[in-house]
Structure formats: structure tokens, C-alpha cells
Structure 1
Amino acid sequence: MGKKTLYSLILVSVLLLGVVAAGCIGGGGTTTSPSPTTTTSTVVKTETQVQTKTTTETKVQEKVFVRFAGWSAGETEMKNYQKMIDEFEKENPSIGIKYEVITQMFHENILASFGAGVAPDVFYVDSAWAPIFIDKGALYPISDLADKSFIDKFYPFLLEPFKKNGKLYGLPKDWSMLALFYNKKLFEQAGITKPPETWEELEQDAKIIAEKTGKPGLAIYLGNFNRYVPVAVSNGAPKPWFEKPEDASWFDNPVVKETLTWYINLYKVGKVDMENQGKKPYVVQPGDVGAGWLGDAFGKQEVAMVISGNWMIPFLADQFPDFKYGEDWDIAPLPAGKSGRATMAYTVILGINAKSGHPKDAWKFVEFILGPKGQKDLVVKAGQTLPSMKGFENDPDMWPQHKKTLSFMSQYDNVIIFLWGPKSGTLEGKFSDAMAAAMRGEMTPEEAIQTMKEIVQQELSG
């Protein structure tokens, strides 16, 4: 073999080693969709035949599915969420979102799903239920996933119910406050020129409207302790807080006894007693007028007034477009008591399951929904409720109805976050059951108050 031949073989060998090395470096990596395996064969002939085979394999990234559970304030909210989910999946093709709506006993059902090992990855948690979920270890600390700079964009007062031992367990998706919604045309027919300024005027206007128009003046829910609290606090009662059995003494406060009796009798006297006397009621619950909830009763113009939150605004716009804000209906602050005005503030987090198999993927979805784009599109533009992230107060896309409710903030002496203590959710449900029984006339207001005291003592006795 001559020198030239030998040099040629050496050169070919070096080139072939380079081809092999190049094939190995380029062969790794993951994509979001499958692609076929490619096989390349290179054959070089000199005096000795050499064959090299380079194989490139593409691994397939599996799609992760994140289950997201919430309740719904109506068809409008569900449609808005599905639109945002579609956008998220388009931007994140490796993550799929399974949206589940639970219509009844939401928190109880979520807690039960943990026991069965089938809890969703992301789910709503109301401020009143937050302590229970945190104590049960059901929530992944959001402070372990989110940057502090992102957390600092939210209103601090909305974060308080979701903190414990230096950890933050969720960020609010939005918030709402109670306001008085009233039908301007029914008011005009009844000769009433302005919304009620006090709780006493609220009841009196309801009576006048029923007498003059034949429509009930006010719709309320049976029970619903949280809707009663502004009445108590605006009349001088302290904010309710139940952490130990002795806190049941809140119900011994004379203001609480007086105002709770008044609130129960709105329905007991305004509906039950009136019908027993053969008269038209001036207070009803939604079901009494063939409605599913307060927004439905108000939108159908079956009642003149309801006390509800910002979540009712998009429902009315979507389901009753001919019932025009400003022309047919308007919003006013809650009536005042003897000690000023008070309202309730409601907020809900998108909690992440502490046992989720995909916490980072879940957080990516949560961050999308709660971030500036989500707040702008889902909350501000869609008019869903009020944005929980700072900086949107004067956004030109904010609906005028929501801007008006925000303008009431300066009139309130107390804005009360829906939280009564570590067992707020349980207490709220049991308080409401006792109140509802009294409203239906199944027990007296005094018996209901005593029952509520006993509930606190039993639930917090250890």
C-alpha cells in the first residue's frame, strides 16, 4: 500500500468520525409533537469499504392535563372562562385544561374529593373557607411558586385571609362588594324618587312598591348570614369573629339581637305573615318569583331591589340586554345604619392542590388567568367583577357599573372581608340554616339566635 493510499484512508477515517460526532450532538432534544425517526446512511469507498450509520431519534413530549374546578355566577362567567382557557391552550400546547363546574356545595365537594383522591389541580377557594383548606394541607403555598414582584401587584387587604405562618396560599382572581341594585321604572311607578338611605327606608320602600306596583319591593336569600352582617356592623355591632367557644357571646350583643331579629322578620313578616293575611308580599326569595337566584329575579323585573355583588353586572348585561343600566336600573351604596355604612367584600383565589402531580403546570395556568392579561380580558373587559391586581382603577375598558361601585368606597365606614374565623365556611352554612328556619316561621328569631350561639360553642369546643 502506497503512502498516498494510506493518507487517504486516514483522512476518510477522520471525516467519518466527524460525521458520527455531529450525528450524536444533533440527536437529543424534546418537541411538543411527534416526528418520525430519521436514519441516514453514508457509504464512502476507497481501497477499503467503510460504512457508517447515524440515527436521530425525536422523543415525544406528553401533553399534561390540569383539572380546573369552579362554581359559576351564570352562563356568562362560564363562557368567559372557556374563552380564556382556549387562549391559554393555544399559547401552551403541551398543557390541556379540563374545566369543571360544580353547582352546589362547592367547598364541601372539593374537600370530599381530597378524601377520595380525585381532587382537581386548581380550584376556587372562598376567603371564608381558606382557613379550613390551609389547615388540612390542601393548598400548595403560592409563595413557593410565584415571584414576590408578581404577588406585590395585588391589593394587600385581599391577601390576608390566605396567609398563615409566613406562607401565602393563593392569589385572588377578582373581588366584589355588596351594593343595592334597584329598578328605576318600578321606583317611578311607586312614586319613589331615590334609593333608600337607611335600612328602615329600605323596608318602607319595599312596602310602598308592593302596594303601588304589585311587585315585591325586595328579594333576599333565606339565611345568608354574610348578607346580614353589614346591617349589624352599620348599626354599631363589632365585626363578627369566632375563634373559641366564648366568642358565641357576639350574639348576646343588644345590637346583634335587634338587627338579626329585624333581618329575619324582613321575610317572616314581609312574605310569610303577609300571605297568611291574604296580602301580597313585599319581600320574597328568588324561588318565590320563579327565579334561580337574585340576579335572575332582578333581571326578569319580578322585584324592585336586591342586594348583590359585582358578579351580577355581567349576568344582567348578557342575559337581559334590553334591561338597560342607567335607563332601567341603577346601583346605590348599601343603606346606612345608626353608626354609618358597611359593606361586605368577597374574594376567591385559584388554589393549587398541594398533592397535584403538576404544580408548575398548574401555576402556569393560574399565573395566566391572574396576570395582567387575564385581569384585563377576563375581569376588566368582560366586566366580570373588580380586578384584584392594582393599576386598573382608571382603565378605560372598565365597565361604568363597576366604576360606580368603586366610587362608593369613600362612603363606607367599614368594608368587611368575608371571614369570621378559622371555621368561617362551616359556621356560615349552619348560621344560615338557623336563620332560614326562622324566616320560614319554623322557629322564633330568639330561638334562632340561641341556636347560632350553640353552633359556635359546638364547632369551636375542641
Structure 2
Amino acid sequence: MAHTRVGTAVQRRITGLTAAGAALGMTAVLAGCGAGGGSGDVTLKMVAADYGDSSANSSQKYWDKLAGEFEKKNPGIKVDVDVYSWSDVDAKVADMVKKGQAPDIAQIGAYAGYAAQGKLYSADDLLSIPVQADFLPSLTEAGEVRRTQYGMPFASSTRLLFYNKELFEKAGITGTPQSWGELAQDAELLKEQGVKYPFALPLGREEAPAETLMWLLSGGDGYTDNVGTYTLDSDQNIDTFTWLKDDLVGKGLTGPTAPGDLNRQEAFNAFSRGEVGMLNGHPTLMKQAAKKGVKYGMVPLPGVNGNAKATMGVADWMMGFKQNGHREQIGKFLDFVYSEKNVLDFSERYDILPVTSTASDAMADDPAYKHLREFLEELPTSQLYPVGKTSWAQVSASIKQDIGKAVAPHGNPASILKELQNKAASAEAAE
């Protein structure tokens, strides 16, 4: 669901005792007290993703402030948060877990693999009943592995097609695209006017799985069938990427950067500079574009012959690791994180959709959030990644690495999708 993405890690460090010494001391104390926690000071280590588009609005500032407020109310519990770009954060947590240095809390893109390995507390273990019951039902279900919730949704979004009104006007485009054919025609007109990116197609590693799913849905299929089996190389999906390769990329309608090398934030930045005619975007882009004075419009993503099969929804995930035995302290902090005030604060800061019913209702009723209503309306029926499959993290990584090749000049969409399907099938068989 999903996101900054400053290129380097932004880190918050707590001074005083060395991290190694504190961690060792805490582990020793708590090992004798069981997983529920124990007496003495505890420092929770958290790794989170960055939703800002620059160092000025990095999520580090949000987490530093929130941690400080929590620590004042909970003497004896410190929270040390390190924020990384979306390009790096999942790999960072995976490396920490592999080294036996799992954080207490991670807010990243996938949870199921860790849940299947028995490394996570369930939501039941951590959250108070009112907090757990407040999650939107579709997101609760998406957070389950074998009917137990391990993934706690943290932020969500849906996607719409953004377009630059001034560039459309200069190109003589009076309507908005309702089908792929119309989208390609509009992109041609924008290209004739010298628009740098008539349609920005970010299939780079940052968020290739999202852009890919949006197009698969608009072509009538998706990542899985109705029973959850991967179908990446279905005829419809091959047709979708063949059209992208031949009718958009091949005709020079996606700009000077190869889609496989274009990351989502780079595309958003270009849109905010007035260099992009159209692109698929989530709510965060509204604030970024408005700040730069870009006049934009938003419409549902067009499908191959009209409306897309479904809108893509994304949720990012919070999880608590068992390794350090800080169940009680993790639970206290997460109950604080998921208070209505804090959920709304984060959602407002980044124009992200809230994951709780109370915050969603408050947002829907508040005229200050009317710009998000169209996104909010799409969320209950949107289609999410198959995040409950333990294979999804591996499949997602393969898509990030290879999907851009499908639309490259000498790429073969059928071959690339078949290759991805074979990897997905192997990963699923190993679940």
C-alpha cells in the first residue's frame, strides 16, 4: 500500500547506554521472566518505512514525536525507531532477522513469511480487544495466516489515474481516458506537445508490484485466481503487458527513462515538476503536487475496454517479533500507535487512508478530508496483494527485479511472465 523514499537511511539514535549493552542486558533480564516482559527498563527497537518525499517530511519526525509522547506516559519503556526508504526497509528487516537481531517491531510491506516461521506474536497476543476490533474487516482478513492475524495494517491506500490539467488543455484534450485506447491517444497528443512523460510507468524496484497489479486488474485479471492460485502468465496478463510494451513503451509514450529503471517516487517528483501528463497515483501525490502548484485531476483507472476489473488497494503492515520477549511492552506501544488521534495524525500528514473504522468514519465526516473521499470509497472493494501467502514476499521480490524487462525493447512479455509464474509456483509449493 506501498512511501518515500529518500535514498539513504534516516536514523534516530538514543544516546546513553550503548545499544549493544542495553539490548544484551534487557535480553538477559527478560529471558528469566518469560515472553510477557518483566521488570526494569526496556528499549524497544523498531524499524519503519518512510512515507515522506524528502528529508523535510521524513516519517522519522513522526515516529520521534510519537515515541517521545509514549515514553512520557510509560516510564521504563523507551522506543528506538530507525526509518528507511521503501527501497531498503524490507531487505533491512530480513537481514536483521537472518542475523538473529530481529527488531521488536517492524512496519514494512510483508509479514506472512515471518508468521509462518513462528517469529511473530499474533495480534491477539499484543493488542487490546477494542484496538484489534477497530481494524477495517477487509484489512484484518488480509492480515491473517491460517485464520490467525499476525499482520496489523498500518496504512492503506487505493489508486486513481492522475492527470495534469494544464498539459491536457495545451494538448487539446477535453475529456479523460475511459479505456486503454483513449489513454494511448491522449498520450500521443501529449507527446506531440513535447511533454517529457506523456504517461509515467514506474516499474522500477521501489513499487513495481503495485504498478503491475494495477495494470493486470485493468486488463481483467490479477496475480491470483478466485481460489488464490498464482496466475501471472494468464492469457489476459500476457495481453496486458504486450499492449504496454507495444502501444505505450514502444511508441515512446512513457518518457526518456526506461520503465524498469523508473521508481514511483521519481515519477511522482516528475509529475510535481509538471513533466508528466498522466500516471497512476495514491493520495500522497495530491499534497506533493499541490505544493508545487500543479493543477491535477483524478479519475478511476481505465480498463482495456472501459472500467477496470477492480481498484488496487494497498496496506502496509505492522508486526511484533518474539525474539526479544517484549510482548507486553510492544502491545502497550501499539495500542498507543493505533489510537484514533495518532492514526488520523499520520493519515493527514501523508494523505494516507486510515486502517481503523473509528479514524475512517471521522475522516469521512470531516469536510477537511473531502479530497480523500473518492479514495476512501474505493477501499472496501479494492483488491490487495496476496499478502497472506507466505510466498508473496519472494514473488514480490521477483516482480521487482524482472517485470521491467517485459516492456524493454527486446523484452518478451509472455516469456517474462512465464518465468515469474514458475518462480511463484515453486515458492507456493514450498509454503
Identify whether the pair has TM-score above 0.5, normalized to the shorter chain.
Answer: yes
Q: 1:450 aligns to what?
A: 418
Aligned CA-pair RMSD: 3.0
Corresponding residue to 2:369 among 393, 396, 399: 399
How far residue 225 of structure 1 moved from its aligned partner, in angstroms, is: 3.8
- Superposed counterparts of 1:266-415, under 5 Å: 268-271=249-252, 282=255, 284=257, 293-316=266-289, 321-323=291-293, 328-338=295-305, 340-341=307-308, 342-379=310-347, 381-390=348-357, 391-396=361-366, 398-408=368-378, 415=382
CA 1:291/1:285 → structure 2, altered by over 3 Å: closer, same or farther? farther
Aligned residue pairs total: 379
Distance 1:176 1:415 in 2: 9
Q: Is the 8 A contact 1:235 1:339 kept in 2?
A: no
Corresponding residue to 1:189 among 132, 150, 170: 170
Q: Is the 8 A contact 1:174 1:347 kept in 2?
A: yes
Tell me which amino acid in the other structure corresponds to 2:373: K
Q: Is the 8 A contact 1:333 1:408 kept in 2?
A: no
| Matched position secondary structure for 1:382 | helix
CA 1:409/1:350 → structure 2, altered by over 3 Å: closer, same or farther? closer
CA 1:251/1:287 → structure 2, altered by over 3 Å: closer, same or farther? closer
Tell me which amino acid in the other structure corresponds to 2:374: K
CA offset digits 1:155-174 (Å, max 9, x no partner): 11001122134432132122
- Superposed counterparts of 1:168-317, under 5 Å: 168-222=149-203, 224-237=208-221, 240-241=224-225, 247=229, 250-251=231-232, 253-265=234-246, 268-271=249-252, 282=255, 284=257, 293-316=266-289
Task: Say if 2:77 is the partner of 1:95.
Answer: yes
- Superposed counterparts of 1:51-130, under 5 Å: 62-74=40-52, 75=54, 76-78=57-59, 79-103=61-85, 104-126=87-109, 129-130=110-111
CA offset digits 1:224-244 (Å, max 9, x no partner): 243233333344336525999
CA offset digits 1:113-159 (Å, max 9, x no partner): 11212221111142xx3321211222111212223332221111001
Q: 1:137 aligns to what?
A: 118
Distance 1:409 1:150 in 2: 20
Q: 1:28 aligns to what?
A: none
CA 1:357/1:85 → structure 2, altered by over 3 Å: closer, same or farther? same
| Matched position secondary structure for 2:196 | coil
Task: Report the TM-score when normalising by structure 2.
Answer: 0.78
Q: Is the 8 A contact 2:127 2:334 kept in 1?
A: no
Q: Structure 1 stretches of 5 or more lacking a match?
A: 1-60, 275-280
Tell me which amino acid in the other structure corresponds to 1:110: V
Tell me which amino acid in the other structure corresponds to 2:399: F
Identity of aligned residues (%): 23
| Matched position secondary structure for 1:385 | coil
Q: Is the 8 A contact 2:44 2:105 kept in 1?
A: yes
CA offset digits 1:315-371 (Å, max 9, x no partner): 445xxx2425xxx11222111334742211111222111223322222222111112
CA offset digits 1:369-404 (Å, max 9, x no partner): 11212112222x424301111122424265333123
| Matched position secondary structure for 2:323 | coil
The structure with the larger Rg is: 1
CA 1:92/1:73 → structure 2, altered by over 3 Å: closer, same or farther? same
Tell me which amino acid in the other structure corresponds to 2:79: I
Q: 2:24 aligns to what?
A: none
| Matched position secondary structure for 1:405 | helix
Q: 1:45 aligns to what?
A: none
| Matched position secondary structure for 2:382 | strand
